[in-house]
Structure 1
Amino acid sequence: MSGASAPSAHNVVILGGGVAGCVLAARLSEDSGRSVCLVEAGPDYGANWRAWPARTLNARALPRDDVWERHSAVHRIRARVLGGSSCINGCWNTWGCEGDHAEWVHAGGARWSQSAMEPYRLRAVEQMRLRAVPECEYSPWSRAALQAAAELGYEEVDTAAPGRPGYGAPLLNASDGVRWNAAFAYLEAARSRPNLTILSGTTVDRLNIRGGSVRAVDVLVDGRVQSLVADTYVAACGTFGSPALLLRSGIGPADHLHELGVRPAVDLPGVGANLIDQPGVFVPLVPTAELNTALAAKEEAGELYVSRMLIRAASGLSSGGSWDLHILPSAGDPLFGSLPPGQYEAGISAFLMKPVSRGSLRLRSADPAVPPEIDPAFLTDRGGHDIAVIRSGLDIVERLAASASLQSLASPSPGFSPRDLPDQELRSSLGTYWHPVGTCAMGLPDDPHAVVDGDGRVHGVSNLRVVDASILPTVPAANTQLPVLAVAEMLADTMRE
């Protein structure tokens, strides 16, 4: 390509330094005979975690500095930093239900079963140094919420392991307020390996595909095009980034590619389709003066966390033994905006964990600098399943707020009852849990909408894989960080076989 530098060759090039990319880079570079290059568009703040920005290390907040789009719709937020979403999320790690794995086995084979993935779940827990919530991080609100869940008849469960509906606390990738992200956990020991190259500040432009294989990948560094050559290429750019890269490279629905002026290389209608995220509704409550005082004391001690527990709840539409809702009581600084000193936001959220609705991602332009068009299509399924489950969750929220344990700390906001809102108004009040998946979904070769197989190999391209949340054909009934870590661990093993 005109203006491009001489190609740089590696055995494996990993495109995207997020959660999955860090896992892959660490595991694949354990073989000293394999040359691995990890490419990240955002910054790499270095090997010494103590030198990273305080805002990135702060586990009490959701930093929004290292993201692709500032001041955009909340469902579009995605990290742009080595370590990916583990640098900007809530540090929560939970696990899904048996039904998730049944769906994945159908699409990808036996290695996706609960029993087959269990060693990788445990490996990720150990590598990320996940820990239980310490006693000092429970606020009076969190403790009361645990008691309220028991009042409603829920049993205590391990939310970061397979199981059943119930209440509990997540495992955390944080300690003493410090966020322990995937770059720390997986690259700390790997950085010194001579066979691992980390390229930060490097934006992936497109893959050059000829004859059913990738011949090189063009990347942008300070506005200049460079080419990287490898035996194997792995897209790990996330649920929004990976399908966008494939589309720019000519892999996707042919009609959309023609609209963009991109020559189709492989007609895969599923690229950018099947977008799934977990919408939810926050029900505000009015904290008592006593709760505000107690939260202020926790904040002064540096121990105030907005939420430290959840309920895995089943609506009437959930299959036996599973759950389709997360109920999250929270109290602390507001997620958006601010309040005067000494005043805090309290409320309970109901999140739909297993939505039927499907959204999409399409490109506005083949220029990687132009953000994609993202439509989450929340609560749009024709049968009304999703909105029915959300309303079921709001019933649970109402009962939880009325429990003896929480009623003494906060009361319903006057005139606000989301359970009674018309459908359209309820849709307009939605937030998101920030767990998008599915836009490069795995499936069988005869599935016209499948993008990859059970090993992450892209259909129709011999040396290209996708390994990140985008390949999950359905969303787990969980926060997605721990499942994605386990998936990356598992698929790294398949690449070493």
Structure 2
Amino acid sequence: MSPVMGHHDVLVLGGGVAGCVLAARLSEDPARTVCLVEAGPDHGTDPGGWPRSLRDAHALPRDHMWERGVAVHRLRARVLGGSSCVNGCWHTWGSAADHEEWTRAGGPRWSAAAMAPYRERAEAAMRLRPVPEREFSLWARAALAGARELGYPDVDMGAEGPPGCGTPLLNALDGLRWNAAFGYLGPARSRANLTILGDTAADRLVLDGGRITGAEVVRHGRRETLTADTYVLACGTFGSPALLLRSGIGPAAELRARGIRTEVDLPGVGANLSDQPGVFVPRTPAPRLNAALAAREKEGELYVSRMLIRAASTHCPTDGWDLHILPSAGDPLFGGLPPGEYEAGIAAFLMKPASRGRVRLRSADPADPLDIDPGFLTDPDGRDAAVLREGLEIAERLAATSALAPLAAASGAPSYELTDAELRARLGTYWHPVGTCAMGPATDPLAVTDGAGRVHGVPDLRVADASVLPSAPAANTQFPVLAAAELLADALKETAS
């Protein structure tokens, strides 16, 4: 690898899912020097040298996070590979309606047809595969049968199509979580033109006359400045707007209130936060289900969820879907149960929320926690709550099918009868935030980037992660973000060539 310091052609700040893609693809040209900066640790090339919790595809690890003991919507990974190291290993694709929204904002490169090759590249690099038969629990198999009983057709969850039921693609290989650091950086690490800096936190960009002169990072407790011809932010939906704000790029009034000099007044930075809230409906497992789950756990093949339904509410456009109905059974996501007992239930997630939140700074100090308001169910028309209730009704109908009803009993009144206050009190999240550096034309006052990730009004600066998506896809976001990073890497190559 090249020396740590020195000038690079491209500096990628953030080594999560998108950052790994960008560093790998941009360093394919041996004439282009690339430096990847990640705040968390780099555990190296050999999967065997990584912490067991990050390798294990059975669970959702919580030991490589930016914060502990916080509201669940704030959870985000701090490790090379980002969310691919800690999430559910699921890969699903969105609807044609998603691409229509993105094309209106970013141009034809975001159409379904144009993104298909990038989706295929991501599928190959992440070694995505269908769910093996042996990984289906009794609950998951019964849930598939129940979905068909309700009339949902089998569909390919890795492509556009109609509502239906099916299984995700997985970045899990016989229990090993194949994260983006393995899939993308593994083949690239030996390149002399690629530098990877772990345990190096990006603080701010330094601007002079509206142009970037360097990026201040903190490495081994020391503040250093890295320089490049092109700067690319891939710090995620929370981290990328925060870095822009600390650099003086954002809403002028908000920056003044934090004592930060405004370099570029961009009102959309940190706005338009969109995430996918949901409610879990618990069921009481029958002894037969507990015994079956215990047997799977003993065999080392207990996976909490392996199927889902993509469903359309009455508010959804034709041929699209705006709900994920997700049955699960296994160890609780939070807390614990006595040996031989398990949590079972069905969650409904709102995939296309109208509500918007935002990310703000509490101060200019990067060590201060961010002010993150997810804005769940705040749309003035109340559509989000109405759609979520329809999802809960589908979940109740699924639980009552002949396939699932014998395996678990209702734990209370129907969930769709919850009051608004009860609904909000039980909200969880799918952990799929997007939109805080949304792409759009320069004439849009809330647009931060264009369709190639270029930041409006700041030469040589791009954002290339989930934050550029102006709306959430009707999907788990890792697959679309992998493809988006592939797309944005190509866009940068086109400009540089």
Normalised to the residue count of structure 1, the TM-score between the two structures is 0.98
Q: How does 1:467-486 map to 2 (within 5 A)?
A: 467-486=464-483
Q: Distance in 1 between matches of 2:146 and 2:225?
A: 57
Counterpart for residue 223 of structure 1: 221
Q: Distance in 2 between matches of 1:264 and 1:464?
A: 16
Which of 283, 287, 290 is 1:289 aligned to?
287
Counterpart for residue 387 of structure 1: 385
Q: Distance in 2 between matches of 1:11 and 1:62?
A: 36
Q: Distance in 2 between matches of 1:178 and 1:349?
A: 26
Q: Distance in 2 between matches of 1:416 and 1:211?
A: 62
Deviation larger for 420-429 or 449-458:
420-429
1:416 Cα deviation (Å)? 3.7
Deviations 1:210-265 (A, max 9, x none): 12221100000122110101000000000000000000000000001001111000
Determine if the alignment matches structure 1 residue 490 to structure 2 residue 487.
yes
Counterpart for residue 276 of structure 2: 278
1:14 Cα deviation (Å)? 0.1
Determine if the alignment matches structure 1 residue 39 to structure 2 residue 42.
no
Deviations 1:329-369 (A, max 9, x none): 11100000000000000000000000000001100011111
1:377 Cα deviation (Å)? 1.0
Q: Distance in 1 between matches of 2:454 and 2:207?
A: 15
Number of equivalences: 491
8 Å CA contact 2:393, 2:415 repeated in 1: no
Q: Distance in 2 between matches of 1:351 and 1:103?
A: 20
1:417 Cα deviation (Å)? 2.7
Counterpart for residue 264 of structure 2: 266
Is there any run of 5+ residues in structure 2 with no aligned partner, and where?
Answer: none
1:494 Cα deviation (Å)? 1.1
The residue identity in structure 2 corresponding to 1:317 is: H
SS at match of 1:282: strand
Counterpart for residue 3 of structure 1: none
Counterpart for residue 87 of structure 1: 85
Determine if the alignment matches structure 1 residue 405 to structure 2 residue 403.
yes
Determine if the alignment matches structure 1 residue 146 to structure 2 residue 148.
no
Deviations 1:163-187 (A, max 9, x none): 1100000000001111000000001
Segments of 4+ moved more than 6 angstroms: none
Which of 433, 436, 439 is 2:433 aligned to?
436
Which of 255, 258, 262 is 1:257 aligned to?
255
Q: Distance in 2 between matches of 1:49 and 1:305?
A: 21
8 Å CA contact 1:38, 1:198 repeated in 2: yes
8 Å CA contact 2:13, 2:232 repeated in 1: yes
8 Å CA contact 2:448, 2:456 repeated in 1: yes
Is there any run of 5+ residues in structure 1 with no aligned partner, and where?
Answer: 1-5
Q: How does 1:181-200 map to 2 (within 5 A)?
A: 181-200=179-198
SS at match of 1:11: strand
Counterpart for residue 453 of structure 1: 450
Tell me how large the CA RMSD over aligned residues is: 0.8
8 Å CA contact 1:287, 1:410 repeated in 2: yes
Deviations 1:279-337 (A, max 9, x none): 00000001100000000000000000000000000000000000000000111000000
The residue identity in structure 2 corresponding to 1:470 is: S
Q: Distance in 2 between matches of 1:347 and 1:48?
A: 37
SS at match of 1:258: helix
Q: Distance in 2 between matches of 1:409 and 1:309?
A: 17
The residue identity in structure 2 corresponding to 1:435 is: H
1:70 Cα deviation (Å)? 1.1
Identity between Structure 1 and Structure 2 (%): 67
Normalised to the residue count of structure 2, the TM-score between the two structures is 0.98
Deviation larger for 335-344 or 210-219:
210-219
SS at match of 1:403: coil
Counterpart for residue 316 of structure 2: 318
1:7 Cα deviation (Å)? 6.5
